[in-house]
Amino acid sequence: MPIYLNAQLSPQTWVEIGSGYEYNIFNAPGQSIAQPIRSNFYQSLKWRTDWRFNPTDHIILLGLRGQYNFFPGIRDANLFRPRVQIDYRWLVNNDGYLFAKARYDLYRTQRGSDPTELLNIPTSYQNAEGSLGYNMQVSKLHQMRITGSCRNRSYAPLEERRLSYQSWGLELRSRHRIPRDGKLSSYLTLTADVSRRYYQQRALMEGFDEEFEEEEEFVDEDISEPFRLWDYRQVEGKYSFRTGNQHRWEIGLLAQQRVDQLDEELGYRQWRSSLSWRASFGKLELQCKTSYTGRFFSELPATSAGEELLIHRYLRTAFSATYELSNNWQLNGQWSSIKRWRNHASTATTFLPYLNSDFRVALRYQW
């Protein structure tokens, strides 16, 4: 049987140019003279291109993404983030399809360590990941999905070492449609997944070139034991519904456990509640999302006295507005914020509270 190919001769593309202001770029605690809060305006450029191919019973999506943020006067804050990804779907029958995804991306910046992690992990990295799964329509109202995934992430050099990790995971997802008399259906989605993350370190040669891509300048320490070995267990529930034809809502609740298999000190239990809203008013579209996270460490003390264990709490909020100026032009505005608290903040010297906020306005052209 011949296979007929229906492809987009010209890809779908958009380019977005904007300006913004970021408060507390390096997530400083605000109470340290050695690490003052630094904020600045920046210029941004984003682009996205997608190709779609439709052989018989197959769908192939190829995408290119890019982002560049330029901070005048603060070179360390500049951000460059290109990405290439491919998605494949095979329609096995009317009730199920096999899917596969692959992605490679870079995150290049000099912003230092990731403030959400207790390890000294740089924010700059290169990342390759893939997943394979099957989605089935169990009944008229119910879908099931199983997905296996893997990831390899290598961080930028830091303090004469390079840190990397490999992870493997398995996810089960159930999605149930709930009919409502005289109203649009609502949906209940339940997800459970387990994964393992295996960290390793590599020592750097003397006189090494600090360019991120110079792989030949690194020497493997031949470590027989992993630097860190973490197991993750997670369950999440989401309920989405509509009020009227314009307002879409989603309520979420997540519970996660990280088990530190080697040191046992960096394991934690984490809870997160979230709420998102989306609405359209003619040419104007609004979106808002907020989440609150509580992270309770299992063994790590909050202070040197060791009387209480460390607790981190996060409040994340994001808001965006998009206005369609014409068929090809859009005006976008975005604001996001993340706030971290911890117990015994007044006497602590590490893992301190911080606030980061970002506001951005951009003009997008698509064709």
- Please give the pLDDT value at position 263: 74
pLDDT tens for 160-195 read 778 889 999 999 999 999 998 777 889 999 999 999
Q: What is the distance between the alpha carbons of residues 7 and 52, in angstroms, rounded to a whole number?
A: 6
pLDDT at residue 2 greater than cutoff 60 = no
pLDDT at 226: 61
> Residue 32 has what pLDDT?
60
The yes-or-no verdict on residue 156 having pLDDT over 90 is no
Query: Which residues, 6 or more positions from 229, have their beta carbon under 8 angstroms from its beta carbon?
Result: 196, 197, 198, 199, 260, 261, 262
In the predicted model, what is the mean pLDDT of the chain? 87
Q: Is the pLDDT of residue 217 over 80?
A: no
pLDDT band at 33 (very low <50, low <70, confident <90, very high): low
Residue 165 CB coordination number (10 Å): 21
CA distance 201 to 266: 17
Per-residue model confidence (pLDDT) at position 216: 45
Mean pLDDT score, 29-43 = 80
pLDDT for the residue 304: 74
Query: Percentage of residues in the chain with pLDDT exceeding 90?
Result: 62
Contact between 152 and 166 (Cβ < 8 Å) = yes
What is the per-residue pLDDT for 159? 67
Q: Tell me what pLDDT residue 110 has.
A: 84
The pLDDT value recorded for residue 92 is: 93
How is the chain split into domains, by residue range? Answer: 119-228+237-247+260-265
Q: What's the sign of the alpha-carbon dihedral 72, 76, 79, 84? A: positive
Phi first, then psi: what are they for 223, rounded to 5°?
-75, 125
Q: How far is CA 231 from CA 44, 133, 199, 225, in A?
A: 37, 21, 11, 16
Q: Token pair for residue 120?
A: 């000294």
283-326: per-residue pLDDT in tens? 999 999 999 999 999 988 887 777 789 999 999 999 999 999 99
pLDDT digits (tens, 9 = 90+) for 102-127: 999 999 988 877 766 767 777 889 99
Query: Could you tell me which of 292, 357, 345, 317 has the C-alpha nearest to residue 29?
Result: 345
Strand-pair partners of 259: 231
Whether 208 shows a pLDDT value over 60: the answer reads no
